[in-house]
């Protein structure tokens, strides 16, 4: 029996997708730019089934790509076109909330749980799972963990890494590691969960996680600000942090180019303020106390800022509905950009103090490659993470041969990432590496770090079956 027949015998016919139509949604990336190939997509329902699939693939020497919601923005979860013998393991059927420990502020969920469902399950117990991003209706907890997803709640609650207490993982040799601890303290040597968080499916399959929960905020206050520059936005961030402390839960910046794309491309989105203002900031305060306290703190800071001429305009959300509408505008940026043209996406982070210099220098660098291109800027400003996206129209793009497209995209990304690197930043703040940034790993990661990563990969997956060609650049020695 070949590996597909063995998988069918092991999992049942309906859990192994084979035909091109059945597999279609699993073989191309979210932006529809990469088309991969695979011999099948396996849909396990239990951790034991995942372990059995891994053992079968290992015996057959079949490459494995682990897939969650397939919302990766760096083509990380699609199998490679040149490896048609790949088996995709998709976790969509593993979506049980195994337990909630309210007193411990934790819950154990299976990796295939969709992020929004996890947030809802936590809320049903009066708790908050704070990771939040535009793809939360389709990305999975396993994918969030494998990419150490960021999003809009990092300023207050940290990345996914800060919200995971324990993991269950199927290792490349087929063993199951049960590390589903619910502990805040456990100094018993290497903290192995951190190896798998951010490992992008290269070291095994995350099958379940113990997540950290937080008190569910009962009050929220939001403002939408128009300012003249990123520097002014930073000045206001410092003031809000000083006055509101941990209650400041989001601070998101976008430029007029970005806002206008959302308004034009995504139906039902309305601008909170005149969209011609050059820079826009969404501010959110949230806490467990009363709304009036938050609103008063926000108004105090904004009134002082207005009296000093720091604001071009400002609006306070008048209702929960308006707050939700403003979040919809923010969460629609990826959808709008996908429809608007070819965005050459970058995901750098720099120290907060360097954000204005980064935006100015990266604009100049991008324009040296693409003179006059519109530049989309949308930033998790509180984290120093700036999505800096030079745009090319569909017509311009289609006029280029595929190699020219690759060259152009590569030149722009490198120019932008070099600016971030020179300012003490990173070329990948939250989306991960996937298959689109492996070259940058070679360029920007210190050789000692790369060598340690290769050593770990070699120790856990000596046959290099897990997500081959992803995350790590190839080296002659491994
Ligand atoms: P996939 O795309 O399926 O996989 C991503 C990587 O994780 C792949 O390498 C895959 O092999 C690996 N993987 C998946 N599941 C497992 C598992 N169970 N075990 C081991 N490896 C696994 N990201 C942010 O960080 N912040 C944002 O604000 C943000 N906004 C987004 C908005 C939109 C509209 C979209 C489409 C994407 C956005 N993303 C954002 C990117 C993406 O949603 C995240 O990277 C997310 O964490 C990926 O989850 P997923 O389940 O879709 O994973």
> pLDDT tens-digit profile of 371-413?
999 999 999 999 999 999 999 988 889 999 999 999 999 999 9
Residue 433's contacts (CB-CB under 8 Å, 6 or more residues apart) are 74, 76, 200, 440, 441, 470, 471
Report, as an integer, the average pLDDT of 452-472: 96
For ligand 1, the distance from its centroid to the CA atom of residue 148, given in whole angstroms, is 8
**Alpha-carbon span 38 to 88, nearest angstrom:** 7
DSSP structure class, residue 79: P
Counting beta carbons within 10 angstroms of the beta carbon of residue 90, is it exposed (0 to 12), middle (13 to 18) or buried (19 or more)? Answer: buried
Counting beta carbons within 10 angstroms of the beta carbon of residue 442, is it exposed (0 to 12), middle (13 to 18) or buried (19 or more)? Answer: middle
Q: Ligand 1 in contact with 133 (CB < 6 A)?
A: yes
> pLDDT tens-digit profile of 311-352?
999 999 999 999 999 999 999 999 999 999 888 999 999 999
Number of helices and strands in the chain (H, E): 17, 18
Reply yes or no on whether the pLDDT at 476 is more than 60.
Answer: no
Q: Ligand 1 in contact with 140 (CB < 6 A)?
A: yes
pLDDT at 475: 66
Output the six-digit token pair for 460: 């856990």
Q: Ligand 1 in contact with 86 (CB < 6 A)?
A: no
Atom of ligand 1 nearest to the CA of 142: 18
**Residues 416, 419, 425: CA angle, nearest 5 degrees:** 105
pLDDT at 477: 45
Atom of ligand 1 nearest to the CA of 91: 18
Specify the residue with its C-alpha closest to ligand 1, atom 26.
151
Residue 383's contacts (CB-CB under 8 Å, 6 or more residues apart) are 150, 154, 155, 349, 429
> pLDDT tens-digit profile of 435-449?
999 999 999 999 999
Report, as an integer, the average pLDDT of 75-79: 95
Q: Are 80 and 41 in contact (CB under 8 A)?
A: no
Residue 303's contacts (CB-CB under 8 Å, 6 or more residues apart) are none
Atom of ligand 1 nearest to the CA of 206: 19
68: closest CA among 133, 14, 162? 133
**Alpha-carbon span 5 to 51, nearest angstrom:** 17
Confidence band of 115 (pLDDT split at 50, 70, 90): very high
Output the six-digit token pair for 388: 């800096």
Tell me the CA distances in angstroms from 168 to 109, 121, 126, 145, 420, one per residue in order. Answer: 10, 20, 25, 11, 35
Torsion of CA 4, 9, 14, 15, to 10 degrees: -70
Report, as an integer, the average pLDDT of 286-292: 92
Q: Are 376 and 262 in contact (CB under 8 A)?
A: no
Atom of ligand 1 nearest to the CA of 73: 41
pLDDT at 135: 94
For ligand 1, the distance from its centroid to the CA atom of residue 141, given in whole angstroms, is 9
Confidence band of 1 (pLDDT split at 50, 70, 90): confident
**Alpha-carbon span 49 to 205, nearest angstrom:** 12
pLDDT at 394: 87
Mean pLDDT over the full length of the chain? 96
> pLDDT tens-digit profile of 173-182?
999 999 999 9
Reply yes or no on whether the pLDDT at 368 is more than 50.
Answer: yes
Q: Ligand 1 in contact with 430 (CB < 6 A)?
A: yes
Report, as an integer, the average pLDDT of 353-368: 98
First to last CA, the chain: 31
Note if the pTM is more than 0.85.
yes
pLDDT at 428: 97
> pLDDT tens-digit profile of 138-152?
999 999 999 999 999
**Alpha-carbon span 473 to 11, nearest angstrom:** 34
Q: Ligand 1 in contact with 198 (CB < 6 A)?
A: no
How large a percentage of the chain has pLDDT more than 90?
95
Confidence band of 478 (pLDDT split at 50, 70, 90): very low
* Pocket probe mutation, ligand 1, options 53, 96, 117, 135, max atoms within 8 Å of Cβ: 135
Q: Are 139 and 114 in contact (CB under 8 A)?
A: yes
Helix (H) or strand (E) holding 261: helix 256-265
């Amino acid at each position: 029996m070949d590996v597909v027949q063995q998988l069918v015998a092991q999992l049942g016919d309906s859990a192994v997708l084979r035909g091109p139509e059945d597999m279609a949604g699993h073989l191309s990336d979210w932006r529809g730019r990469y088309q991969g190939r695979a011999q099948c997509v396996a849909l396990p329902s239990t951790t034991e089934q995942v372990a059995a699939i891994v053992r079968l693939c290992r015996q057959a020497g079949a490459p494995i790509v682990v897939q969650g919601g397939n919302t990766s923005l760096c083509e990380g979860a699609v199998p490679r076109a040149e490896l048609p013998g790949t088996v995709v393991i998709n976790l969509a059927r593993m979506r049980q909330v195994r337990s909630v420990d309210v007193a411990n502020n934790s819950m154990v969920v299976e990796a295939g749980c969709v992020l929004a469902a996890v947030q809802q399950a936590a809320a049903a117990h009066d708790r908050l799972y704070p990771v939040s991003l535009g793809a939360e209706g389709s990305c999975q907890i396993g994918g969030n963990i494998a990419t150490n997803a960021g999003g809009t709640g990092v300023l207050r609650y940290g990345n996914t890494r800060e919200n995971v207490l324990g993991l269950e993982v199927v290792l490349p040799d087929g063993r199951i590691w049960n590390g589903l601890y619910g502990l805040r303290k456990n100094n018993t040597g290497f903290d192995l969960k951190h190896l798998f968080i951010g490992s992008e499916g290269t070291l095994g399959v995350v099958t379940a996680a113990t997540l950290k929960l937080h008190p569910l905020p009962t009050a929220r206050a939001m403002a939408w600000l128009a300012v003249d520059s990123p520097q002014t936005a930073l000045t206001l961030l410092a003031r809000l942090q000083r006055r509101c402390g941990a209650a400041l839960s989001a601070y998101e910046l976008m430029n007029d180019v970005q806002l206008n794309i959302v308004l034009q491309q995504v139906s039902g989105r309305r601008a909170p303020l005149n969209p011609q203002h050059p820079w826009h900031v969404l501010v959110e305060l949230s806490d467990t106390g009363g709304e009036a306290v938050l609103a008063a703190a926000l108004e105090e800071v904004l009134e002082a800022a207005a009296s000093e001429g720091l604001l071009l305009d400002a609006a306070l959300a008048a209702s929960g509905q308006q707050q939700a509408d403003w979040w919809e505008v923010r969460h629609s940026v990826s959808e709008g950009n996908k429809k608007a043209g070819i965005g050459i996406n970058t995901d750098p982070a720099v120290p907060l103090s360097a954000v204005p210099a980064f935006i100015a220098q990266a604009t100049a660098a991008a324009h040296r490659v693409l003179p006059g291109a519109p530049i989309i800027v949308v930033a998790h400003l509180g984290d120093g993470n700036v999505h800096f996206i030079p745009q090319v129209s569909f017509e311009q793009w289609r006029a280029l041969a595929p190699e020219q497209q690759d060259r152009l995209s590569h030149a722009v990304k490198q120019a932008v990432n070099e600016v971030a690197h020179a300012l003490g930043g990173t070329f990948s703040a939250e989306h991960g590496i996937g298959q689109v940034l492996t070259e940058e790993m070679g360029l920007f990661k210190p050789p000692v770090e790369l060598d340690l990563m290769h050593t770990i990969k070699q120790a856990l997956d000596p046959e290099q079956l897990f997500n081959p060609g992803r995350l790590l650049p190839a080296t002659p020695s491994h």
